[in-house]
Structures are given as structure tokens and as C-alpha cells.
Amino acid sequence: MTAQLLLAFVLFAFATAGTPGPNNMMLLASGANFGFRRTVLHILGISVGLGVMVAAMGLGLGGVFKAWPVLHEVLRWVGGGYMLWLAWKIATTRTVADKGAGARPMTFLQAAAFQWVNPKAWAMALTAATTYTPEGSTIGVFFVAGTFMLVGAPCSAAWAGFGQGMRRFLDRPPVLRAFNLTMAALLVVSLYPLVVETRPAGASREAPRLLADLPPTPRWSSRG
């Protein structure tokens, strides 16, 4: 991979992992409600889950969804329903949780599994796999997946850290309730691209409309 293309990919990973979306809204809420330390496994789950998705797409899973478009549609709407449930859970959290509280943050496995029903994660993984992974190079696929994980983890940590910093302002129930309702509403708003996503007949499903505004980057070969 040339230095120029590597820089383009790092910028892509930083922009997609660092901008608002379902993962980051949930991390912000988790950091505020549970603190940074209790959100670490959530952060790691997102990073590993996205890395596994990118690797799976680069190794051929994307072709399965191209051959069976209905699978993509099913995951889109199952993911949307699950995110609405998560938004409800956030909206109904009424106290800042301490170590002894019954409420719990998302676990590593839950966060990793959530990527498979997260529309933005699909867009990120498919674009990384179809644009930046080398053709015919397994090592290159894992390099891109690993780079995505290394770039995305600090972005996720920043959102959780920001939520942690807000905890001292959320010790009053009305303020915390207003914050959680706002986070839940933003999580629902993040579903907008999923709801309005349309494709003309015969259009490829490899480039989700969630990232349609990103400039095209030529795919590199294993010789690059």
C-alpha cells in the first residue's frame, strides 16, 4: 500500500469511527451513566467487532450479501429494531450507576455482536473491504482490519471519556433524565439513513448510501 493510500484509509477510519453514530452515542451515554472504567469492555468490543467485520468482508463475506441481497435487508431492519430497544433502555435509565448498582454497561461480546446489526458499522466495514483491501492478499485484508481497529479504539475511548467528564453534572435526576432522553433521541435519529436508504434497480449493494458523500478512492492491488 502506498503512503498516500494508507493516509487516505487512516483518514477514512478516523472520520467514520470518530463522528456521531450509534456506537458513539451509546459510548457517550455509557461513560456518563457508568464511568469510563466500566465502559472499557464496551470500547474493546466495538473495536474488535469492527475489525472482524472488515476482515470477514475482505475475505469474501461481502460476496454472500451481494448474491443474497435479502440478507442485507433483514439485518438492516433487525438492527433498526434492536437500536430502538437500546434507545428505550437509555431513555429509562434514571440514576448514575455506581459499582454496586444493578444496571450494567454493555459487555465485550454484546458490543462486538452489536456491530453486525449496526447499519453504520456495515457501511464502514463494506467500504473498507471493497475500497482499501488488496485483491488476493489475505495479509493485506488483516492489515486493513487491524489498522481500522487501532484507529477506531482511541475514537471510541474519547467519546466514553467525554461521557465520564459529564458525570459530575448529572448527579441530579432531572438533569440525568434529560441527558439520557437526548442520547436516546440521537440514537433514534442515527437510524435516519437506514430508513430513507434507497437504491435504483440494479444498483450495487457494496457501497451503502451512509457513506455516499465520501470521495471515491481507487482499490489497490496486492502489488501496491
| pLDDT on residue 41 | 96
Rounded Cα–Cα distance for residues 60 and 57 (Å): 5
The tens digit of pLDDT for each residue in 91-107 reads 877 666 554 455 688 99
For 24, residues 6+ apart whose C-beta sits below 8 A from its C-beta are: 18, 155, 156, 159
In this prediction, residue 62 has a pLDDT band, given cuts at 50, 70 and 90, of low
> Percentage of the chain surpassing pLDDT 70?
76
Supply angle C-alpha 166, 154, 6, rounded to 5: 145
Rounded Cα–Cα distance for residues 181 and 90 (Å): 7
| pLDDT on residue 37 | 93
Mean residue pLDDT of the chain comes to 78
Is the confidence at residue 52, as pLDDT, over 60? yes
CB-based contact 193:210 (threshold 8 Å)? yes
For 92, residues 6+ apart whose C-beta sits below 8 A from its C-beta are: 180
| pLDDT on residue 94 | 65
Query: CB neighbours (10 Å) of residue 178?
Result: 12
Is the confidence at residue 215, as pLDDT, over 60? no
| pLDDT on residue 195 | 60
Q: Is 42 helix (H, G, I), strand (E, B) or coil?
A: helix
The tens digit of pLDDT for each residue in 2-12 reads 777 788 888 88
In the numeric block, which cell numbers belong to residue 49?
Answer: 467487532
